[in-house]
Amino acid sequence: MTEIPKEEYILKCTSACAGCSSSLILRYVLKAAGEDTVLVIPACCTSVIQGIYPNTAMNVPIYNVAFAAAAACASGMSEAFAKAKKKTNVIVYAGDGGTVDIGIQALSGAFERNTNFLYICYDNEAYGNTGMQRSGSTPTGARTTTTPGGKMHAKKDLAGIVAAHNPPYLATACSAYPMDLFKKVKKALSIEGPKFIHVLAPCPPGWRYPSEQTIEVGKLAVKSGMWILYEREYGKVTINGPSKAAMIKPIPIEDYLSVQGRFKGITREAVDMLKSQAEKTAKHLKLEEEGIC
């Protein structure tokens, strides 16, 4: 049984929305990382959640930086710590917009340079901080304020893009499985070089479901195969427990879509696209796990 430290690094009374999974994710990330950690945060919900000057709700140093700059800023920080012979963890904690869209160039550069840091993308599948506009990570059919008729395009394959950089460690996680996340952060931080964790982060106001259902919605994402938990260590893929079961017998993705207002009125065609995307990802990961591709 994994021991979760009792220390809290997020203090009470943050300005997160009720049922926010991002603050739950960060809570476990910091428990795993411990106090010798610096967070680099580009513009995202966590810019707001951490509180207003002169206060901070985080008990680790936070460097807030411009939207596109997180991975590059972390590069400088990581190199400076290395020069000073410090072992401090440098963790970027960024939303999907700051990762798959505006921040992807800096992310790619930092991974190509083998920067020693951990990049965590908490993915609520839209620009949440500005009120839910579509991002490259918004899934097909989801309604946002800039896709009021539902998004026409597929969700960008972020993990695939990062995997193309051959990092020593890449994993996916979901806020509904905090123990899994905790272990992945621990493992990531034990490895030298660039590490990446892509965490699905259900968002009550953005996804339009009641705030007490955040854990349930996350579980439905995994059980339906819409989100697959896996690790890629030095290129070797391992599909993790809850997703193993889901791959054998997934629940219908309609069970996941129907609890969320953002998919209200979704077309049959869009549902089919989501299904085929999920099946394709699952099939590919399975083949990779078996060493076939």
Partner 1 sequence: MLTIATGNKAVAAAIKEIRPDVVAAYPITPQTEIVEQIAEYVTSGELDSRYIPVESEHSAMAACIGASVTGARSFTATSSHGLFYMHEMVNWAAGGRLPIVMANVNRALGPGWNVWAEHTDSLQERDTGWLQVYVSTVQEAYDATLMAFRIAEHHDVLLPVMINLDGFTLSHIMQSLETVELGDFVPPINLPYAIDTASPRGYGTLTGPNDYFRFRWDMERSMRDSVAVIRETEDEFARRFGRSYGFTEDYHCDDADVVVVSMGTIGKEAEVAVDQLRREGMKAGSMRLRWLRPFPDLDLSGRDVVVIDRDYSFGFGGVLAQSLKAKCGVDPFSVIAGLGGQEVTYDDIASFVRDRRIGEEHWFGVSD
In terms of CB distance, is 193 or 261 closer to partner 1?
A: 193
Q: Which is nearer to partner 1, 98 or 242 (CB)?
A: 98
- Nearest CA to 228 out of 172, 161, 185, 271 is that of 172
Smaller CB separation from partner 1, 74 or 197: 74
**Closest separation in Å from C-beta 159 to partner 1:** 20
| Terminal-to-terminal C-alpha distance of the chain | 34
CB of 222 to partner 1, least distance (A): 33
Q: From the CB of 54, what's the least distance to partner 1, in Å? A: 8
Task: Point out which residues bind partner 1 (CB under 8 A).
Answer: 35-38, 40, 47-48, 50-56, 58-66, 68-69, 71-84, 88, 105-106, 108-109, 112-113
CA distances from 239 to 30, 67, 112, 172, 233 (A): 24, 32, 25, 10, 11
Minimum CB separation from partner 1 for residue 134, in Å?
A: 23
Cβ proximity to partner 1: between 35 and 212 the closer is 35
Residue 10 exposed, middle or buried by CB count within 10 Å (0-12, 13-18, 19+): buried
How far apart are the C-alpha atoms of 272 and 205, rounded to whole Å?
25
Nearer to partner 1, 36 or 212 (CB): 36
How many Å apart are CA 24 and CA 19, to the nearest integer? 9
Question: Nearest approach, Cβ of 125 to partner 1 (angstroms)?
Answer: 24
Q: How far is the CB of 85 from partner 1 (least distance, A)?
A: 11
- Nearest residue to 117 (alpha-carbon basis) of 84, 75, 82: 75
Instruction: Identify which of residues 56 and 238 has a Cβ nearer to partner 1 in the complex.
Output: 56
72 vs 237, beta carbon nearer partner 1: 72
Alpha helices by DSSP H, 198-267:
204-207, 214-223, 241-248, 253-257
Question: Rounded distance, CA 268 to CA 86, Å?
Answer: 54
Secondary element (H or E) of residue 107:
helix 104-112
Closest residue by Cα to residue 242 from 267, 219, 213? 219
How far apart are the C-alpha atoms of 72 and 158, rounded to whole Å?
A: 18
Residue 277 contacts residue 251 (beta carbons within 8 Å): no
Shortest Å, Cβ 267 to partner 1: 39
